[in-house]
Chains A and B, each alone.
Chain A
Amino acid sequence: MPKSKSAYSIPTKKQKPDTYIFVVWVDNESGVLARVVGLFSGRGYNIESLAVAEVDAIKNISRITIVTTGTPQVIDQIRLQLTKLVPVHKVAEFKREDKSVIFKEMALFKIVGKKTKIEKCLNACKKFNPIILDETKTSAVIQITALRREIDVMNKKLKPLGLISTSRTGAVAMTRGAKIFN
């Protein structure tokens, strides 16, 4: 074991981190995103993706969805620390493997090439509800919604078919059935 050369102890036991999704309801006010994101960076938590938008214009509520990784202890801390923030109303979290929750990301692919190549691209995206948002003789913009890793795969697959630009969102989440997060 290495000797600690400081006033602090050295880390021991390492648990395995898992991927979790946090859903946070906040007052839609200036600086609120900085508070949430600052909490993550300040305490050394990791953000894999982030999606945020107002969901209730009357009550002025925004919904933030954050994908993060951490050990169960860290995930507990993230929830408790988020709950302490003054503009935070509610926090829900679940594991990525949780079957009772749907989560989706959206991606826009710009393909440049001949018709045949674009056709091939559309075909490859078939599983992910591809929508053509823009089309010219030599290009197309295709929208798909899928899981993060599926988009990662498509991103690779489409490269040789003329993909020149990808734009993607963070994940958003919703429970299945009649239940809502609480």
Chain B
Amino acid sequence: MPKLLTGAEIVFKCLEDQKVEHIFGYPGGAVLPIYDELKNHPSIKHILVRHEQGAGHAAEGYARSSGKPGVVLVTSGPGATNVVTALTDAYMDSVPLVCISGQVPTHLIGTDAFQECDTTGITRPCTKHNWLVKDINDLSKVIHEAFRVATTGRPGPVLIDIPKDIQFAKTKYKKLNKEIKLNGKSHNKFSQNQIDELVKLLSKAKKPIIYSGGGVINSGPKASNALREFVELTGFPITSTLQGLGAYPGDDNQFLGMLGMHGTYEANNAMHDCDLLINIGARFDDRITGKIDEFSPNSKKVHIDIDPSSINKIIKVDLAIVGDVSSVMSKINKTITKRKNGHSKSNKSNIAKWWEQIEKWREKNSLNFINSDESIKPQHAVQRLYELTKNKDTYVTTEVGQHQMWAAQHYKFNKPNRWMTSGGLGTMGYGLPAAVGVQIAHPDKLVIDIAGEASVLMTMQEMSTAVQYNLPIKIFILNNQYMGMVRQWQELLHEKNYSESYSEALPDFMKMADAYGCKGIKADNPRDLDDKIQEMIDYNGPVIFDCHVDPNENCFPMIPSGKPHNQMILGPNDQEENKIKGKGKALV
């Protein structure tokens, strides 16, 4: 007779079979049997966070930077509700997470037992799928299915709720079933005909643009390579969403920078004026499109996405190709190469005029800002950080707000999986725990969280985690003493009524660093900035870098809400040129 295993043992058996090396979690009453079993599985390392939200974001950082699913372990009730923000964040940004939560024993479910909550009910809308395991015989099947759901198709979070009695109950372990049950949910539905149609469009285009997104990153490094090959073969300009940064080298001449609300002038104008728009793994988010009715009015639109429900959701497209970016792109590249070998005619000459136009837009230098030698400009701080770290294989996470946009604009990424930010949900407090997760996945790499002082305080407690596990993450705080993005919107739309957006009573970050047992560095002068950044990089251990920046700086360029791509507001330099002196701020 085969050996009977407890539910807790089965959980670890499954994790081992799934080659899980790290789990992020926090113990509690309803998961104690699983925590008890932890000691018998040396191949799996548990990272103890300080708050379950931190566990979720750390797992997200881990997943995004490594391509492997992140695993989270939390207890019932508050443990589960605390992780909801991270699950929703992962759902919006398509990050594969497997969250295991404890639950009160089955006979107590529905009785308002201590630390009971309807976990599967609460997490239903923020997971791809979730399971409440009521029968020990289902456990191994459910866990393996959970990993499959989280990692296939458009990735996303899943949750498995395991009552405490199930963790104690015993059964035989069923091995991972290799057979894939797709329930009709095939993910590569495209045909050669569609590829041919696309290639035909490519050859006819006079004003094309490629708009790539997070789907390229999610599809793996092969997809990024295929994208680079595609851009080279076609000679087309390429822009990227916030999530897609790094799929294509940020310092390449064919790259127009990020598009959308805080995208570059050239990228947004090219989107508006193009005659062929190729969306690769992006979803026409409202931060990208601006006013829908006037979005890229004269273009043929192509959309390559693994999720059929992304197609025609917001923007009607002319050609939809449903499939994994890497397989679609390699098919396209093959088809183009084959054609080119037949005729040597390329359409690069067709688009020479288009490039001239783009160069004209580029001359606006829309990311420009007025630097100062008295106060540190936040954009300058990011630029210096980039210059001083670009030769290392640096991983950057961010919180949410102005600093996030400045990081996206001024830090150039050359490789996929190096940029972790909360885009869809816009979760302040994402960056610090995410950096913890990234550093766990890449112990020898430089990991920097470009943060704002308001965001970082939301999950500051995870510094303890970083110190406990000797994770040398660098928290680079652009401290402007405001919830900067909130203040910017209040300036633009609410007549400068800065309601509750000033960060009153900020802690002394130097003392805070001391208290956590990490290093604190403070910079408030542009002359010392480089040295201090270098000191941060050279320090072997976690650092809180308090960078005092000009508190009045706003993030430009921007598309104001309800406006199309070609009606951007540019920065103060441009406003001065247009003789709106002194009143520049009031006008935007």
Partner-B contacts on A (CB < 8 A)? 3-10, 12-13, 30-31, 34-35, 38, 42, 73, 76-77, 80-81, 83-90
Q: Which of B17-25, B125-133, B199-207, B474-482 contacts A (4 or more CB under 8 A)?
A: B125-133
Q: How far is the CB of A124 from chain B (nearest CB, A)?
A: 44
Q: Is the CB of A8 within 8 A of B561?
A: yes
Contact residues in A for B308 (Cβ distance below 8 Å): 80, 83-84
Residues on B with beta carbons closer than 8 Å to the beta carbon of A12: 291-293
A31 and B292 CA atoms in complex are apart in Å by: 36
A13 to B292, CA, bound (A): 10
Chain B stretch 254-291: residues in CB contact (< 8 A) with chain A: 286, 290-291
B309 touches A77 (CB 8 A): yes
- Say whether, besides A84-B185, A86-B128, A9 and B149 are in contact (CB < 8 Å): no
Distance A12 CA – B451 CA, assembled complex (angstroms): 36
The answer to whether A83 and B184 touch across the interface, beta carbons within 8 angstroms, is: yes
With known contacts A4-B561, A9-B290, A9-B291, A89–B125 Cβ distance under 8 A: no
Known: A84-B307, A86-B183. A4 touches B124 (CB 8 A): no
| A80→B311 CA distance, assembly (Å) | 9
Q: Chain B's nearest CB lies how many Å from the CB of A105?
A: 29
* A149 → B minimal CB distance (Å): 31
Total number of residue pairs linking A and B with CB closer than 8 Å: 61
A-B contact pairs, 14 of them (CB 8 A): A3-B562, A6-B561, A7-B561, A9-B286, A12-B291, A31-B124, A31-B132, A34-B121, A35-B124, A77-B309, A80-B309, A84-B309, A86-B149, A90-B184
The minimal Cβ–Cβ distance linking B263 to chain A, given in whole angstroms, is 16
B580 at the A interface (CB under 8 A): no
Chain A residues contacting B185 (CB-CB under 8 Å) are 83-84
Q: How far is the CA of A12 from the CA of B563 in the complex (A)?
A: 12
Question: Which residues on the A side are within 8 Å of B493 (C-beta)?
Answer: 5-6
Residue of A nearest to B294 (CB): A12
Q: Please name all residues of chain A whose beta carbon is closer than 8 Å to the beta carbon of B125 when the two chains form the complex.
A: 38, 42
Give the distance to chain A from B565, nearest Cβ to Cβ, in Å.
Answer: 12
- The 9 A-B residue pairs whose C-beta atoms are closest, nearest first, are A80-B309, A4-B562, A9-B562, A86-B129, A4-B561, A42-B125, A12-B293, A80-B308, A81-B309
| Minimum CB–CB distance for B90 against chain A, Å | 16
**A73 contacts B312, CB within 8 Å?**
yes
Determine if B168 is an interface residue (Cβ-Cβ < 8 Å). no
Contact of A34 (CB < 8 Å), options: B124, B183, B292: B124
> Which chain A residues border B561 with CB–CB below 8 Å?
4, 6-9
**What CA separation (Å) do A83 and B311 show in the bound complex?**
14
CB closest chain-B residue, reference A11: B292
Contacts of B291 in A (CB 8 A): 9, 12
Q: Flag whether B365 is at the interface (Cβ < 8 A).
A: no
Also in contact, A9 and B313, with CB within 8 A (given A42-B125, A90-B184): no
Say whether B120 faces chain A, with CB atoms less than 8 Å apart.
yes
Interface status of B489 (Cβ within 8 A of chain A): yes
> CB-CB < 8 A to A35: which residues of B?
124
B170 CB to nearest A CB, Å: 23
> Nearest residue in B to A77 (C-beta to C-beta)?
B313
**Contact A30 B132, CB 8 Å, known A5-B493, A38-B124:** yes
In the complex, chain A residues whose CB is within 8 Å of the CB of B132: 30-31
Chain A residue with the shortest CB-CB distance to B153: A84
Flag if A9 contacts B128 (CB, 8 Å): no
B window 452-493: CB within 8 A of A: 489, 493
A8 to B120, CA, bound (A): 31
Give complex CA distance A8, B563 in Å.
Answer: 10
Whole-angstrom distance between the Cβ of B139 and the nearest chain A Cβ: 15
Q: How far is the CB of A41 from chain B (nearest CB, A)?
A: 9
Bound complex: CA of A31 vs CA of B121, how far in Å? 8
Closest residue of B by beta carbon distance from A1: B562
Closest to A78 in B: B309
Nearest chain A residue, comparing its CB with the CB of B563: A9
Residue of B120, B125, B290 with most partner-chain A CB within 10 A: B125
- Determine the chain B residues whose CB is within 8 A of the CB of A81 once the complex forms: 309
Q: Mark B138-158, 1 if CB is under 8 A from A, else 0.
A: 000000000001000000000
The 8 A CB mask of B302-316 against A (1 = contact, 0 = none) is 000001110111001
- By CB atoms of chain B within 10 A, which of A12, A77, A86, A88 has the most? A86
Across the interface, which residues of B come within 8 angstroms of A42, CB to CB?
A: 125
A20 CA / B311 CA spacing, docked (Å): 20
For A89, what are the chain B residues with a Cβ–Cβ distance below 8 Å?
183-184
Bound: A162/B316 CA distance, A: 53
> A88 vs B493: C-alpha distance in the bound complex, in angstroms?
44
State in angstroms the CA–CA spacing of A91 and B183 once bound together. 12
In the bound assembly, the distance between CA atoms of A124 and B149 in angstroms comes to 54
Chain B residues lying within 8 Å of A90, measured Cβ to Cβ, are: 184
Residues of chain B contacted by A4 (CB below 8 angstroms)? 561-562
Whether the pair A88, B489 counts as a contact (CB closer than 8 A) is no
Minimum distance in angstroms from A56 CB to a CB of chain B: 15
Q: Are A31 and B120 in contact (CB under 8 A)?
A: yes
Shortest CB distance B135–A (Å): 11
Q: A90 — nearest CB in chain B belongs to which residue?
A: B184
Give A6 to B486 CA distance when docked, in angstroms.
11
Residues of chain B contacted by A9 (CB below 8 angstroms):
286, 290-292, 561-562
State the CA gap A88–B312 with chains docked (Å).
Answer: 21
* Contacts A31-B124, A38-B124; A7 near B489 (Cβ below 8 A): yes
B312 touches A76 (CB 8 A): yes
**Which B residues touch A13, using CB under 8 A?**
293
Chain A residues in 8 Å Cβ range of B184: 83, 89-90
Q: Mark B153-190, 1 if CB is under 8 A from A, else 0.
A: 00000000000000000000000000000011100000
Q: A7-B561, A8-B561, A13-B293 are in contact. List 11 more A-B contacts (CB 8 A).
A: A3-B562, A6-B561, A31-B132, A38-B124, A38-B125, A42-B125, A73-B316, A77-B309, A84-B308, A86-B149, A89-B184
